[in-house]
Structure formats: C-alpha cells, structure tokens
C-alpha cells in the first residue's frame, strides 16, 4: 500500500457473477440497490444491509435484458424506480419493477417498459437529468439524443445533437440545472441547453484534452465539471459565468487511460468540494479531496490532495467504472467494475 | 479551398448528417508497379499544386542505383451517387465527394459540349426550378432592395438567364408537376383508406427522409406514399410527355432541375428513375439554388435587375400553368391537399382544428364532422430530424413493431407530411444563406456561420448571454416563407377573393393534368375520363403506376467484413 | 465493390526460422472458435516470462486480409518491432502502403490474437510504425480504444473476416517444428 495518505480503501465485498467484462455500476439513489452491467448482456442487482458494523451485499436479481450485444451503460432515474440501459446493439432499454414492492425484492421482476431506438451504432452512455424528466444517450454515431420522459413509459425525442466529430463516450447532467455535458473521442467536451422555443443546442465546447475524453463528473453542487481522458489527465472545469467554463485544475496519477471518474460529497466537511475518485486501464483507484482556494489567494487553481490510492484494485484487470454511493450516510462507499467481470465495493476509511 | 462558395461543407446541412465514413472502396484502375524495399514501408503521399495525389518512395537503399525517386499518380476516388444509395455508410448525400457528379460545372460542361441543334446528337436542354428555390432567390434579392420582388418576376429573370446566357431552350417551374403529384397522392390516400395499403400514409417528397427510412427504418417503408415527388413527376413530364409533343426521345433531352436540397441529387440518381430503353434519367442533373446563384455570379448576371415583360401575368406560350399556388405549407401542401380532398368528399360539413405541438414544425390537423362530432381525419405536419424520430416511433409502436409495451394513446394519424429539414423545404440545405448585413462575407455567404452561431461571442462581451444556435436561421426561413407565398396570406387559411384567380388557374391545371394522364396512360375509355381520379382499365392503371409512382427498398448494412467501419 | 485492393502487388519476403521454442501460450488455433477457453493458468504463481520471439511466433502467421500471405511474409510484423515488459507488450506493425485501408483490420487481428493467447496480466499496445501510414494517429487511437475493439468484436461480419485472418495464425508456424 502507498504510504502517508490519510485514508485507505477497504474492500467491503467482491461480487462475482458476470460471465464477461463488467462495464458499469450504478447505485440506486433511493433504495439500497446496486446494479451492474456487462458484456454478458445481463444486468445484476444487489441489495445491501448493515451487518456487524459492515454491509452485507446479496445478489437479488439478474435481468437478461434481451439486448443483443454488450450492455455498456446504466442509469437510475432520480426516483430510483426506473433503470435505463444503453447497449452496443444501439438501443436504450427502460426497465421497471413489476410486483414485489419494498422489502420483498426477490419477488420483484424487472420488465422492459420500452426500447428507445434511434442510434445508428453502439450506445455508449445513458443519463437521467436531476428532475428525472429528461434522458440523454450518446453513441459512436457521433450523436447525443435528449428524450423527454412522459407518463406510462412513453418518450419523446427532444433533440438530436450532432456536434461531435467522433464517437461520443459519455453524457452527464448537471446535478440541479438542465445542462447536459458530453465527452468524445474527438478530445472535446460539449455543453448543451434547451432553447424552449426551439431545440437543444450546444453553447460551449471545452478543449484542452489531448486524447479521448472518457468520462465526466459534475461536482455535487454543480459549479465544477471534471473530465478524465486517455491523455492520462483529469481536468476540472470551473463555471466562471452562467454559460462559461474554464479549466481550473489538472490532475495526474494514472499510467493508462482513465476510464471513469465519480465526484461524491465525501466526509471531510463543508469546506471540501467533495471527493473525486478515478480509475482506469492501470487498475488503480485514486481518491482526491478537492477544495476551493482560500479567499485570500489570487490564483484560480483549486487545491487538491490525494487522500487514498490503491493499485491492482481488480488484480491484473482494467477497471472500467467507479461510482460513489449517492445515499446519505454512505458517502464513503465506492463501487468499481472490472474486466474480470467482478464488481467490488470499497469503503474509504482513515489509515491506521 | 477547392470548393466554390455554393459547395462548401458548411452548406451541406441537409439536417440528416452522415454519421459513419463512406465505405465505398476506391478502385485502382492502374495497378501501380512498385519495387519495395525490405523492411519499412518507405513511401509517403504528396499532393501537388493541382491537388493530385502522388505516392513517393522516399528513403531506403535504392536497389537500382539509376532509379530515381519513383512517383506515381494515385487514382482519385470516384464515387457515384448510386454507390451512396447502396451503402449505409452515411445517411444522406451530405458528403462533398458525392456532389461533383451533379454540379453546376457538370451542367456548364454539358451545355458547352452539346452539338448544335442541327446535329443529330444534339440534346434539348430543359431546366425546371422548384418554387422553394424561386422563393429563396426572391427573398435574397428582396432583402437587398427597397421593394419585394415576386416569385413571378424571379421566374422570368431565371428564364432570361438560363435561355439567353446559358442556352437552355425551355425553363419551367415545377408547380404543375407538383399539381399532378398532389392529385396522384390524393388518389393513393383514398386507395389506402379503402384498405389497399397501410395507414398512416407518410409523405414521399423529401428525399432525405426516404433515404433515412431505407437505411435506418425499413419498417416505415410500407407507410410511405409511393407517389413520385414533384421533381420526378417533372422528369416524366419533360422526357415522356413534352418530349413526345416535340418529337424528341427521352435521351434527346437534357433535363436539369434546380432544387432547395442536396438530397434531390440522390433522388434523381435512383435506379427507379432510369429509363433502360433509352439509357437516360428522367432528371439528368440536379443543382441547388445556391449553385444556380453561383452560376449567375460567375456569368456576371445580376438577378436584381428586372427583365423585359417580367410583370406579364402568364406566358401563354408556356407548356404548363406557371407558379400554381397550393395553399397549405411551403413544403408542398401534401397534408392540406388531403384535408381539402377529404372535406370535399364528405357529405356533411367538417370542422378543422389545428394544434401546435411544441413548435410550428409539428402541428396536428383534425377534421371532425360538424354535426356528429365524429373524427373524420387526423393528420400532422412534422419537420426536422427530431420530430421525424417521434413519428417513426409512434408509427412503429402503433404498427406493433415496437418492443416493450408503453401505454400511450394511439397516435391515430391518417397522414403525416414528413420533411427532414426543420422549417421544411424553404429551409433546405441547398438554399441561399441569410441575406447579408455588411459585416459578413462579401460573396453573400455566411460561411463560418455555424462556428460563430454555435460558439460564445467574444469572451470580453457579456459571457452570460449566449448566441442563438443551431439548425438554421429561423428568421431567414420566415423571410423565404414569406417570399414563397408572396401576395397570398401565409399560409392562406381559407378561400378568399384573392384566391379566386388561383382557383381558376388550378382548374386549368386539372384539365391539363387530365390530358397528360390520357396521353400517357392511353385509357381505353377516353370519353369517360373526367378528372385525374377517373377509373381506367387495368392496362392504363398499370401505366399510371409506372409513370407516377415509385418504390422503396431497405438497404442492408455492414455485410462485408472488409468494409466494416468500427 | 470487393475489388478493393490497397496494394495490389505487395512484395513477398522469405520467412525466417521460428524461434524453435513452442510458446506455452500458443494453442495453435483461434480459442474462440474452438471454445477451448483461455489457457490454464494454474502455474501463474511462478510468473512465466515471455520474450519477443514468442510473441512474434504468435502473430507472424496471421494472414493478411487481402493477400494470400502471412503478415511475416509481407514484413508487416517482425520480431524487432515487438517490445516486451513485465506485464506489458508493445507491438509495432508496418502497413505495406501508407494509405492502406486495411491497417485497422490488421492491427485488430494482432490484438485479437494476443487477447486470446496471452495471460490476462499483459496490457497490449499496438501501433503502426511511425511515418508508415498517412493516418497514423487515427489508426493508433482506434486500435487502442478498448471500447471500440470490444464493440468491433460483436460485429458478425467483421469477426468473420478476422477469423479468416486468424485461421492460419497457429498452423503455419507449426511447419517449422
């Protein structure tokens, strides 16, 4: 283990079951549920309960999905009632639970309520807006789609954004406003808003990364956006005006592509902007504490401190996804998914 | 920059953009001979001043001391529009390579090499221009002058330019062809309503939509009207009907059309519009409004200058009624012509209600029986890629093709006027760009418009406000729309005295359409033919279908491993 | 449209002797076709070192997608262009012509061959020889994007073509045994 860091990552559980590479995990924002998706075309659901000062995770359900190719991406609606899946078969699936409500998870069955077609090639990422009324998806076909969620699992296409010149890897919604960000193989990040009298449009392009931008994470309060890239850096973009973002910090600490980042509230108090966790092709997990510079300081540079790190988090495998648990009281809980098909849950604990 | 102003890539916003690279491989006609050294591939590609590509072996020990650096000219990619129709690599034509085959240069080359009329191999050059193109030119000219120029005046000026300067022998607008298309389209709708085909019927005039449906949503094909678009009806009219009155065979006519849309080039290239017997196409070459304007500029023609007799109401010597207004939408009034036909056919009076869904690009039209309140007809106009997605989704869902179950109420449309461009055909990708305030490009093209429109203004300015997007200039589209309707209310809501003249023109158009039908379909019972809808014998009906309808086919994707783009 | 040949007359070179040792990772045929599963890794505790010759033996007999020759015969790959670290392999290959449209396919076939043959601990980077291809950066980027590679391997038409290239991957080297 690396030395002299204030925290370390403690393995809570190692969840096996996917037959192929696990691509992504998603914590249900309301209930104690963790979902994972895989190249084996299935989604696995786990619940967790406190047990002897720790947490006990149990596999409660597998959704075979019916996607004909890899399930690449997952997203829970803010209500926690709906799960969206994005697949290499180019479609987005919308899933809801039938029967077996609260407490009787095992009796629940998950059904495909609708299938959103439109992408021409692999769907790479899906995301719900903070209100749950909008769903975004992106694809190698270079487009980003915005869907409006209607009652009864009906969806209306609100926009098809053709701004990127390459594969779009990730979409992420602002935590409170209707601002959408997308990251691409074309090395750029684009930001979009709705013009109520017309269509969605791109109002800003963030450039600076020197290779594919794999992932995006908004800070919990939304005044910063983090991006991770194949150029082995993480950039943090600060909102300097309503529609203007500027790069405020660059972090290094990985030796191969940084496939995933997640920005949680953390447990270091209000002065902190939260904890930023990253992982990637080098199999390493890094956790940074990000803070705004003191009032007196003139510089724009954010202060950052690596507070925990762990190599070979999934043994020799790449780690594809990392995510902080969004539920109150679980701010120190992280989940990761790896090429070994396993899902691991970690707790950030003070070092001895 | 090798492209002319009319052909820059920024102009190619036909709104369904290519999303994968073109997979058509380049065929090398002259296999280059090459002596390769062991080890590294030591060649590089150089481009000379003329834009030709050369492969040069650059380094390494030269096997034969006397051999100098070898250069060989590489074949340039030649991709025909037909290749594009057969490939799913990109969704529409919007790639610059495709456009060279049907360009204004091609038109000029043809005219230059066309032997004189005394020669047997002379072809009669004919040009047909779409009313949306005329509107675009009119709006552009009007914005630079104190008084508005009418579509009629523009048509005369275009006719003068094309005949006097370019050497065309005949110049028509395509509204009479559209008149026939609307008649046939109405006919087809009632056939489907009777159960001969599927409902809702979806418009077939937009080639971007057809192309997209064939490549991405083959399940929509049975719903799309089989009626030819006005451009292709015009092709039939010019090559088959007019040609025979002139004593010319189809291959003795060279037919150019001017269209608001690049995808019309693809449409004209379809195999269905190729005449095998005479080895000729109904429309030989399609150019956009922008390309026509470019030709005028290249030839020093000023479209803002009036020509003789341009205010004469109607040319009696024209073969077709001119500038027929079809009230409804500036994209061809397919929906409104059906609404009119349904209303006319109803024994009881009907009430029309219109509901806008979010924007004017998606409107629902409902006809109810005034007495019983019964729903008689439900239609929609639906423009732009986004709205088109929702139509595809709803039609698919109703037809039971959609996986999943969502319980949304039936859309229940009888007809949808689908167009790929937001704002419809007046905002086509081939139209002129917004007329220029002084600060813009001298040539009258806002070439970098997309960049400047999408990005933030100078950071020193108020960074809190952002400039408009995106799909096109809505204000400008309104201007073009206004020019399209000119003297008429936009769009005309109900018959008013102003439209009386229009109505009588429409009646003469109906009579001529009937003549065309009789001449081309040869029904046995000529005396029984009172209008376009009059029933004909089987042989004549089959000829009608051959002449005025077409077909669609799904394009399969990614079947050749070597060509897969991943 | 199948008449596409980017380099119609490639130079074919004589083969060199194979390394003589049979790589423990080599199983001859495409693992996925035969469904044999990855190699036994029971003796992984004692980490076996691999040298460039062994890696070369794995890829030298892969067939070129458009010629009846192996990658070695066309000098697309060579032992010198392979760099092996503890858990890391970098392979450089040389397209026969700088506008070769098959480069991504060749690179992909090399990647798949190694994916199927090497122990999981190896991270593999594949690159075209610097200066040997007009779209060098684009080709490299695509070949090293694991998501693009993963999706490509779910495309039946592409996999079929890849399998043809890989059919010979183990066979030919056995001739030298």
Please name the residues between 168 and 227 in chain A that touch chain B, using a CB distance below 8 Å. 195, 197-199, 201-205
Residue A161 exposed, middle or buried by CB count within 10 Å (0-12, 13-18, 19+) = buried
pLDDT digits (tens, 9 = 90+) for A176-232: 999 999 999 999 999 999 987 778 999 999 999 999 999 999 999 999 999 999 999
pLDDT at A293: 82
**Contact criterion met (CB < 8 Å) for A69 and C154:** yes
What percentage of chain B exceeds 70 in pLDDT?
Answer: 69
pLDDT beyond 70 at B19: no
Mean pLDDT of chain C, nearest integer:
81
Q: Which of B38, B40, B566 sits opposite C129 (nearest CB)?
A: B40
CA distances from B157 to A130, B319, B425 (A): 57, 18, 22
Chain A / chain B CB contacts < 8 angstroms:
98
Question: Does residue A171 fall inside a structural domain?
Answer: yes
Which of B187-201, B203-217, C14-28, C138-152 is least confident? C14-28
In angstroms, the CA B354 to CA B481 distance is 19
Confidence class of residue C19 from pLDDT cuts 50, 70 and 90? low
pLDDT beyond 70 at B76: no
Residue A302: CB atoms within 10 A of its CB come to 17
Question: Does residue A183 fall inside a structural domain?
Answer: yes
Q: Are A6 and A334 in contact (CB under 8 A)?
A: no
Q: Which residue has the higher pLDDT, B253 or B215?
A: B253
For residues B308-322, average pLDDT: 76
CATH number for the domain harbouring residue A327: 2.130.10.10
Residue C12 distance to chain B (closest CA, Å): 9
Give phi and psi for B466, each to the nearest 5: -125, 150
Measure the CA dihedral B560/B561/B566/C5, to 10°: -90
pLDDT at B456: 32
Name residue A218's beta-bridge partners: A225
Nearest CA in chain B to C143: B566
**Contact criterion met (CB < 8 Å) for A120 and B20:** yes
User: Which stretches within B443-563 are classed as H helix?
Assistant: 449-454, 474-485, 498-521, 538-548
**Model pTM score:** 0.82
Q: Are A313 and A283 in contact (CB under 8 A)?
A: yes
Residue B82 distance to chain C (closest CA, Å): 13
Return the top range by mean pLDDT from A255-264, B74-83, B355-364, B387-396: A255-264
Set of chain A residues whose Cβ sits within 8 Å of the Cβ of B216? 120
Set of chain B residues whose Cβ sits within 8 Å of the Cβ of A195? 468-470
**Contact criterion met (CB < 8 Å) for C104 and B561:** no
pLDDT beyond 70 at B22: no
**Contact criterion met (CB < 8 Å) for A243 and B386:** no
Residue B231 distance to chain C (closest CA, Å): 30
pLDDT at C148: 97
Please name the residues between 39 and 78 in chain B that touch chain C, using a CB distance below 8 Å. 39-41, 43-45, 55, 74
Q: Which residue has the higher pLDDT, A89 or B449?
A: A89
Domain of residue A77, residue span: 7-350
pLDDT beyond 80 at B100: no
Joined tokens for residue B543: 């000829």
**Contact criterion met (CB < 8 Å) for B454 and A199:** no
Joined tokens for residue B471: 């799909």
What percentage of chain B exceeds 90 in pLDDT?
Answer: 55
**Contact criterion met (CB < 8 Å) for A316 and C147:** no
Mean pLDDT of chain B, nearest integer:
78
**Contact criterion met (CB < 8 Å) for C87 and A316:** yes
Interaxial angle between packed helices C103-117 and C52-59, expressed in degrees from 0 to 180 and rounded to the nearest 10: 120
- Find how far residue B459's CA is from the centre of its chain: 40
In angstroms, the CA A26 to CA A125 distance is 12
**Contact criterion met (CB < 8 Å) for A120 and B405:** no
Q: Which residue has the higher pLDDT, B78 or A13?
A: A13
Residue B52 distance to chain C (closest CA, Å): 15
pLDDT at A100: 61
Q: Where are the domains of chain C?
A: 47-174
For residues B118-135, average pLDDT: 96
pLDDT beyond 70 at B55: no
pLDDT at A53: 84
pLDDT beyond 80 at B11: no
Set of chain A residues whose Cβ sits within 8 Å of the Cβ of B455? 204-205
pLDDT at B60: 40
B96 in contact with A at a CB cutoff of 8 Å?
no
Q: Spell out the residues 6+ positions from residue B40 whose beta carbon is closer than 8 angstroms to its own.
A: B60, C94, C129, C131, C132
When scoring A160, A206, A239, A246 by the number of chain B Cβ atoms within 10 A, the one with the most, hence best to mutate, is A160
Question: Does residue A1 fall inside a structural domain?
Answer: no
pLDDT at B460: 36
For residues B70-94, average pLDDT: 49
Question: Does residue A2 fall inside a structural domain?
Answer: no
Sign of CA dihedral B328, B334, B338, B341: positive
Residue A161 distance to chain B (closest CA, Å): 9
Residue B121 exposed, middle or buried by CB count within 10 Å (0-12, 13-18, 19+) = exposed
**Contact criterion met (CB < 8 Å) for A316 and C145:** no
What percentage of chain C exceeds 70 in pLDDT?
Answer: 75
Question: Does residue A176 fall inside a structural domain?
Answer: yes
When scoring B88, B406, B478 by the number of chain A Cβ atoms within 10 A, the one with the most, hence best to mutate, is B406
Pick the CATH number of C47-174 from 3.40.50.2030, 3.30.465.10, 3.30.1370.160, 3.30.300.130: 3.30.300.130
Q: Spell out the residues 6+ positions from residue B362 whose beta carbon is closer than 8 angstroms to its own.
A: B356, B380, B381, B382, B383, B387, B390
DSSP B76: P
Per-run averaged pLDDT (10 residues), chain A, 352 residues: 82 97 98 98 96 92 96 98 97 89 68 93 97 97 95 91 95 98 98 88 97 98 97 97 95 97 94 96 97 73 93 97 97 97 97 86
Q: Which residue has the higher pLDDT, B303 or C19?
A: B303
Set of chain C residues whose Cβ sits within 8 Å of the Cβ of B39? 75, 94
Residue A150 distance to chain B (closest CA, Å): 9
Q: Which of B20, B422, B469 sits opposite A195 (nearest CB)?
A: B469
Q: Spell out the residues 6+ positions from residue A86 whose beta carbon is closer than 8 angstroms to its own.
A: A71, A72, A73, A74, A75, A92, A123, A124, A125, A126, A137
Please tell me whether the interface predicted TM-score (ipTM) of this complex is above 0.85.
yes
pLDDT at C169: 85
Q: Are C90 and C103 in contact (CB under 8 A)?
A: no
- Tally the domains of chain A: 1
DSSP A4: S
Q: Which residue has the higher pLDDT, A334 or B59?
A: A334
């Amino acid at each position: 283990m690396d030395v002299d860091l204030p925290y370390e990552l403690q393995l809570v559980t190692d969840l096996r079951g996917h037959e192929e590479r696990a691509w992504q995990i998603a914590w249900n924002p309301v209930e104690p549920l963790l979902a994972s998706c895989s190249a084996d075309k299935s989604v696995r659901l786990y619940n967790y309960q406190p047990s002897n000062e720790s947490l006990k995770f149990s596999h409660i359900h597998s959704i075979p999905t019916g996607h004909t190719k890899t399930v690449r991406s997952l997203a829970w609606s803010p209500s926690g009632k709906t799960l969206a899946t994005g697949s290499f078969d180019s479609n987005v699936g919308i899933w809801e639970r039938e029967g077996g409500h609260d407490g009787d998870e095992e009796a629940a069955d998950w059904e495909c309520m609708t299938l959103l077609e439109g992408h021409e090639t692999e769907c790479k990422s899906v995301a719900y807006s903070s209100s749950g009324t909008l769903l975004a998806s992106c694809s190698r076909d270079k487009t980003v789609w915005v869907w409006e969620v209607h009652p009864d699992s009906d969806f209306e296409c609100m926009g098809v954004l053709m701004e990127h010149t390459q594969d779009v890897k990730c979409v992420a919604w602002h935590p409170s406003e209707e601002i959408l960000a997308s990251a691409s193989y074309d090395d750029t990040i684009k930001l979009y808003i709705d013009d109520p009298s017309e269509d969605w449009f791109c109002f800003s392009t963030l450039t600076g990364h020197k290779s594919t931008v794999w992932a995006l994470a908004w800070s919990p309060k939304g005044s910063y956006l983090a991006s991770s890239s194949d150029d082995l850096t993480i950039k943090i973009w600060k909102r300097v005006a309503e529609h203007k973002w500027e790069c405020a910090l660059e972090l290094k600490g990985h030796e191969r592509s940084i496939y995933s980042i997640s920005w949680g509230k953390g447990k270091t108090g209000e002065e902190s902007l939260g904890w930023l966790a990253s992982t990637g092709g080098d199999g390493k997990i890094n956790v940074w504490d990000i803070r705004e510079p003191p009032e007196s300081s003139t510089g724009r540079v954010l202060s950052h401190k690596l507070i925990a790190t762990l190599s070979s988090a999934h043994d020799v495998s790449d780690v594809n996804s990392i995510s902080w648990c969004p539920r109150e009281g679980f701010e120190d809980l992280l989940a990761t998914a790896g090429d070994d098909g396993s899902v691991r849950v970690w707790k950030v604990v003070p070092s001895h | 920059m090798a492209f002319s102003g009319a052909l820059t890539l920024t102009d190619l916003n036909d709104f369904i953009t290519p999303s994968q690279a073109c997979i058509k491989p380049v065929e090398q006609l002259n296999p280059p001979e090459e002596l390769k050294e062991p080890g590294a591939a030591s060649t590089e590609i150089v481009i000379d001043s003329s834009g030709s590509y050369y492969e040069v072996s650059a380094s390494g020990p030269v096997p034969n001391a006397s051999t100098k650096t070898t250069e060989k000219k590489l074949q340039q990619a030649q991709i025909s529009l037909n290749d594009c129709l057969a490939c799913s690599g990109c969704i529409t034509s919007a790639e610059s390579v495709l456009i060279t085959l049907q360009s204004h240069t091609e038109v000029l080359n043809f005219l230059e090499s066309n032997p004189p009329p005394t020669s047997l191999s002379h072809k009669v050059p004919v040009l047909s221009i779409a009313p949306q193109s005329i509107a675009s030119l009119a709006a552009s000219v009007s914005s630079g002058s104190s008084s508005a120029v009418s579509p009629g005046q523009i048509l005369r000026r275009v006719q003068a330019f094309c005949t006097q300067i370019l050497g065309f022998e005949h110049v028509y607008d395509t509204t009479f062809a559209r008149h026939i298309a609307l008649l046939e389209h109405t006919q087809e709708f009632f056939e489907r309503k009777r159960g001969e085909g599927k409902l809702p019927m979806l418009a077939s005039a937009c080639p971007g939509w057809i192309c997209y449906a064939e490549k991405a949503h083959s399940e929509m094909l049975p719903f799309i009207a089989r009626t030819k678009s006005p451009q292709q009806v015009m092709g039939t009219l010019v090559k088959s009907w007019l040609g025979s009155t002139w004593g010319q065979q189809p291959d003795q006519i060279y037919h150019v059309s001017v269209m608001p849309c690049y995808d019309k080039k693809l449409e004209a290239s379809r195999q269905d519009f190729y005449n095998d017997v005479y080895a000729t196409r109904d429309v030989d070459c399609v150019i956009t409004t922008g390309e026509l304007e470019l030709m005028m500029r290249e030839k020093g023609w000023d479209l803002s200058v009036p020509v003789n007799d341009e205010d004469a109401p109607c040319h009696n010597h024209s073969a077709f009624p001119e500038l027929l207004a079809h009230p409804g939408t500036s994209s061809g009034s397919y929906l409104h012509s059906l609404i009119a036909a349904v209303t006319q056919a109803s024994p009881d009076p009907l009430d029309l209600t219109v509901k806008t869904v979010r924007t004017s690009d998606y409107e629902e039209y409902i006809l109810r029986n005034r007495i019983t309140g019964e729903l008689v007809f439900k239609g929609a106009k639906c423009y732009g890629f986004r709205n088109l997605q929702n139509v595809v989704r709803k039609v698919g869902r109703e037809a039971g093709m959609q996986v999943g179950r969502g319980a949304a109420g039936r859309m229940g449309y009888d007809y949808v006027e689908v167009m790929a461009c937001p704002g419809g055909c007046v905002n086509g990708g081939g139209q002129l760009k917004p007329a220029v305030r002084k600060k813009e490009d001298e040539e009258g093209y806002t070439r970098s418009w997309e960049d400047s429109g999408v990005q933030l203004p100078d950071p020193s300015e108020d960074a809190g406000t952002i400039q408009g997007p995106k799909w096109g200039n809505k204000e400008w589209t309104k201007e073009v729309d206004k020019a399209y309707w000119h003297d008429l209310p936009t769009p005309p809501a109900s018959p008013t005295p102003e439209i009386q003249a229009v109505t009588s023109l429409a009646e003469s158009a109906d009579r001529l359409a009937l003549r065309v039908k009789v001449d081309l379909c040869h029904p046995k019972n000529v005396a029984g033919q009172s209008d376009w809808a009059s029933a004909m014998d089987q042989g004549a009906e089959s000829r009608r279908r051959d002449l005025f309808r077409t077909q669609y086919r799904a394009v399969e994707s990614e079947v050749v491993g070597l060509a897969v783009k991943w | 449209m199948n008449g596409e040949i980017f380099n119609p007359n490639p130079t074919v070179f004589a083969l060199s002797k194979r390394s003589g040792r049979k790589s423990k990772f080599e199983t001859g045929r495409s693992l996925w076709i035969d469904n044999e599963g990855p190699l036994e890794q029971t003796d992984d505790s004692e980490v076996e070192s691999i040298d460039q010759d062994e890696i070369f033996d794995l890829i030298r007999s892969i067939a070129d997608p458009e010629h009846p020759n192996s990658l070695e015969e066309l000098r697309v790959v060579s032992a010198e262009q392979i760099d092996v670290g503890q858990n890391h392999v970098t392979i450089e290959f040389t397209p026969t012509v700088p506008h070769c449209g098959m480069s991504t396919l060749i690179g992909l076939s090399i990647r798949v061959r190694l994916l199927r043959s090497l122990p999981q601990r190896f991270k593999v980077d594949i690159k075209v020889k610097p200066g040997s291809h007009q779209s060098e950066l684009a080709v490299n980027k695509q070949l090293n994007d694991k998501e693009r590679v993963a999706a490509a391997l779910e495309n039946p038409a592409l996999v079929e073509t890849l399998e043809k290239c890989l059919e010979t991957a183990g066979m030919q080297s056995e001739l030298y045994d």
